[in-house]
Amino acid sequence: KLVQMVCKPSSQAMTQPNPNMTEDELKVGMNILGKKRTKTWHRGTLVAINPVGNGVFKYKVKFDKGKSLLSGNHVAFDYNPTLESLYVGARVVARYKDGNLVWLYAGIVAEMPNNKNRMRFLIFFDDGYASYVTLPELYPVCRPLKRTWEDIEDASCRDFIEEYITAYPSRPMVLLKVGQIIKTEWEGTWWKSKVEEVDGSLVKILFLDDKRSEWIYRGSTRLEPMFNLKMTTANAQEKKLAGQQRTRPNMGALRSKGPVVQYTSDCHVGASPVKSPQAPPTQPSPSPQHQQPQQPQQPQQPQQPHGRILSPPNTPTSLFTQQFQRQLPSLPPGPPAITHAMASIPHQPSYRAPTDRIFYLVHTCQPACLNRVRPAIPDMHRGKNPLLTPLLYDFRRMTGRRKVNRKMSFHVIYKAPCGLCLRNMAEIQHYLFQTRCDFIFLEMFCLDPYVLVDRPFQPQRPFYYIPDITSGKEDIPLSCVNEIDSTAPPQVAYSKERIPEGGVSINTSADFLVGCDCTDGCRDKSKCSCHQLTLQATGCTPGGQINSSAGYLHKRLEECLPTGIYECNKRCKCCAQMCTNRLVQHGLQVRLQLFKTQNKGWGIRCLDDVAKGSFVCIYAGKILTDDFADKEGLEMGDEYFANLDHIESVENFKEGYESEAHSQSPSSSGDSNDDEDKDSKSEEESDSSDDTFVKENYYSSSSVWRSYTTRGQVKGNKEGELLSNQTSRLWAERLSKDLRGLYRKFQDCVSLTVSGLSGVTKKQVAVKSTRGIALKTRGDNTPSKNTRLFFDGEESCYIIDAKLEGNLGRYLNHSCSPNLFVQNVFVDTHDLRFPWVAFFASKRIRAGTELTWDYNYEVGSVEGKVLLCCCGSTECRGRLL
């Protein structure tokens, strides 16, 4: 369910002093700390208190050498404060360790002790450093200013602290893991660096060029993902002025694995959840999440106090309710439901492997090898687990193990009915063509030993059950269960195909398609015209290099291809069943189920194990023009809208180019926890001159983005000489008016989008990754080229709306660690504006697991709207908008 968290009372309470605490008294003769001109604090004795009017006093402090007349905010008590007197934003003096030296510097409390930071205080020092300290290392400032940040002399640091305290407890920080590669700013230049250690909100960065180490606050804009987030916020302001704000999922290439910005919040302390209305949704929600229409005859179930967070509604309830009720009568009646009292889910008999052995006799395989198992009806096993189908035709799937270099590994081989052993996918493919097998297909075989073909998921006596919500429109039945309550799914006109609405013209004529003349099942990519379209399109990526391995590999897609996949079509002369370049057009193959989640409404889960790279389903619905979508979104809600932004994705991919984005080394994808990556080698740290640093002309160390001149820092210092392991340099700048103006000046040259993850990434993930500082200083305002303008001057992409009519893709929920990725596929037209939106498995998925994908929203793209994410992932970014 969608809930809204109100954090303001909690935020104010956590950043204000305790009203029950009284100020300690200052007395002549007591020992105190005073601030000298060197910005360091020293011990002294209070010798006089001089009033200056309006209740303000000056304090005369005698040091070992000399005397000073100081304000109340420049003297501190020479004893440790109580925990009750401290709060986020409290003004303190803290010990700063620089090698063997210990100094006293002023700062503010940025974090209170908790389990995550091992019961320490995070201090932001006035000169831009950050450090974790303990209570015995703190001294309270005697008479701090009410707005504590006004005591900071450095303007950029002061602005950062003000923004930090104002936004607290919402704190965007880069989610990092040891070993990840990330770009870090130093002396006005972006340097390739590596994460050595993470300590709470601090990260130890190793600069690969000169092997320096430095501790940095994870919310610093010196880290490229944070910098990109700042630039995205500025970009959102421009979009708002231009009226181009959208809160729809982007159906282009997904974001990369790698460093992402995570929003941490302590809202649960003193916060109260404001539940979404139980009536039909009144707000265009940006997530394709089910909003159930009101049903007076059934009691409403209470909303869960956790889940996705939605901003307040802005659409009149009555208007949406009238529109929704006006649409409902046109919907066809849903399939009959079976309640818990009527019947239970039919039990699927488990597969029993034959016990007899198959012996191989030397022969040349031919169609006769499968004569004894060749069925009279090719689809006799349709509706069962596709990975189990070969076994039902007397193929044997055997798992073996072997020990190499003292490491045990498992492997799978298939044995054909004629006794031939098939050891890899190439041999399986060759065998299927040799025997002219037109009833078992390549995607039904899986050599992953961790994918079990006979592990079906069986729900336990649900309160609500529908055998097939598609009423036979899908080739595979899509069942529906509710194990939470007896609530029925929403009324939706099911359609497995896209439906063009008014103003949308999709030319599907064969005369406008490129076809192939293949007779070998399109196995030779060099001779297949459709394969060549896929390969040649990869040349549109930065660098213009053609990826000769792009496209399907044995009917599976290992990773997203930003430039799209061109499948064989009705103009092609290849066999539709045997072609290796036809997959998405065959429709739903895996067994899925619509189910009621605990706190996210309705979702989709798989009933069998799904192999990595397998095609799952498409996202279908009405195709709307952008103008009509805006109008319908205001009236009906836009929670099921998705952009057909293939053109924009590829263009942003090219504009956001970085030299290392093409790296295909294991380090390019960050850290992966997949089982299949356990044997991968460690990351290589070899650098080229292009990868090491990128220097921008307009960006210098003297700008507002400069690195602070701070104590004890010498360029080139070794790791042990630079900082202790608890000290960081805080890059505390905020976007200045000058930079915003510079950004507006060059926005026509560079498209800035959110990049929660930059750095060294695989090819497909740079689509939404743009380094914000990649702005040129040349005065020529070269207009950006927009491919969409060639289509009769169109300026906006088309929209898929699956609210009242669509397929199962509308129920797929969001996750920051998804198990599906989006791929644009061209099937019935080669018009770049109208690809099919397909979902593929990004990892192996166990039976019963919910299927999710990354909605790919741009955080900060809608000013004033905050959509928190509660997907529950260990890599949750905390926010969607």
pLDDT tens digits, 7-45:
444 455 677 888 777 888 899 999 999 999 888 999 999
- Main-chain phi, psi angles of 491, to 5 degrees: -80, 115
Q: What is the DSSP letter of 348?
A: P
**Cβ count within 10 A of residue 321:** 15
Same domain, 157 and 33: yes
Q: Looking at the structure, do residues 691 and 715 belong to the same domain, yes or no?
A: yes
Q: What is the C-alpha to C-alpha distance for residues 601 and 434, in angstroms, rounded to an integer?
A: 48
Which range (240-249, 261-270, 585-594, 719-728) has the least confidence? 719-728
- Quick check: helix, strand or coil at residue 740? helix
Q: In the prediction, which pLDDT does 243 show?
A: 57
| Contact indicator for 295, 254 with CB cutoff of 8 Å | no
Whether residue 66 contacts residue 84, with contact meaning beta carbons closer than 8 Å, is answered with: no
Q: How large is the angle between the packed helices 317-327 and 626-636, nearest 10 degrees?
A: 110
CA-based nearest residue to 879, from 105, 289, 308, 40: 308
Residues 184 and 131 in one domain: no
How many whole angstroms separate alpha carbon 810 and alpha carbon 326? Answer: 21
Residue with the bigger pLDDT between 847 and 628: it is 847
Q: Give me the pLDDT at residue 259, please.
A: 81
- Does the reported pTM lie above 0.85? no
Q: Is the pLDDT of residue 139 over 90?
A: yes
Within a domain: 508: no
pLDDT tops 70 at residue 850: yes
- Where is average pLDDT lowest: 63-77, 188-202, 681-695? 681-695
Which two structure tokens, joined as six digits, stand for 155? 């303007």
Domain that holds residue 793: 170-247+256-289+628-657+683-754+766-803
Instruction: Give the confidence band of 599 by pLDDT, cuts at 50, 70, 90.
Output: confident
Residue 466 CB burial class (10 angstroms; 0-12, 13-18, ≥19): buried
Q: Is residue 483 one of the residues assigned to a domain? A: no
Which CATH number is 46's domain given? 2.30.30.140
pLDDT tens figures, 754-784: 333 333 333 322 222 222 222 233 334 445 5
Instruction: State how far the Cα of 737 lies from the Cα of 626, in Å rounded to an integer.
Output: 33
Q: Does residue 177 share a domain with residue 265?
A: yes
Mean pLDDT score, 657-665: 40
Is position 734 within any domain? yes
Judged against a pLDDT cut of 80, whether residue 6 lies above it is answered with no
CB 603 within 8 A of CB 308: no
> Last residue of some domain: 167, 191, 221?
167
Do residue 704 and residue 721 come from a single domain?
A: yes
Average pLDDT, the chain: 77
530-587, pLDDT tens digit by residue? Answer: 999 999 999 888 778 899 999 999 999 999 999 999 999 999 999 999 999 999 999 9
Assign 323 to helix, strand or coil: helix
Give the model confidence (pLDDT) of 482-516 as tens digits. 999 999 999 999 999 999 998 899 999 999 999 99
Residue-wise pLDDT tens digits, 711-753: 333 333 333 333 334 444 443 333 334 434 433 443 333 333 3
Assess whether 637 and 738 both reside in one domain: yes
For the record, the structure tokens of 856 come out as 């790919």
pLDDT at 654: 64
pLDDT exceeding 90 applies to what percent of the chain?
A: 48
- Give the SS3 label for residue 228: helix
C-alpha atoms less than 13 angstroms from C-alpha of 277 in its C-beta half-sphere: 16
Q: Domain check: are 797 and 650 in the same one? A: yes
Mean pLDDT of 241-270: 61
Q: What is the pLDDT of residue 652?
A: 76
Residue 683 confidence (pLDDT): 40
Q: 296, 287, 297, 291: which is closest to 320 by C-alpha?
A: 291
Distance CA 504, CA 867 (A): 31
Report DSSP letters for 824-854, one per residue: EEESS---TT--EEEEEESS-B-TTPBPEE-
The pLDDT, as a whole number, for residue 636 is 83
The CA distance from 685 to 539, in Å, is: 27
Residues 6+ apart with CB under 8 A from 857: 247, 249, 250, 286, 754, 867, 880, 881
User: Quick count: other Cβ atoms within 10 Å of Cβ 44?
Assistant: 24
- What pLDDT was estimated at residue 497? 94
Here the tokens at position 216 are: 């940095």
Give the number of domains in the chain.
3
Dihedral of alpha carbons 395, 401, 404, 407, sign:
positive
Lowest mean pLDDT among 68-77, 212-221, 333-342: 333-342
Q: Find the mean pLDDT for residues 263-272.
A: 51
pLDDT tens digits along 390-406 = 999 999 999 988 888 88
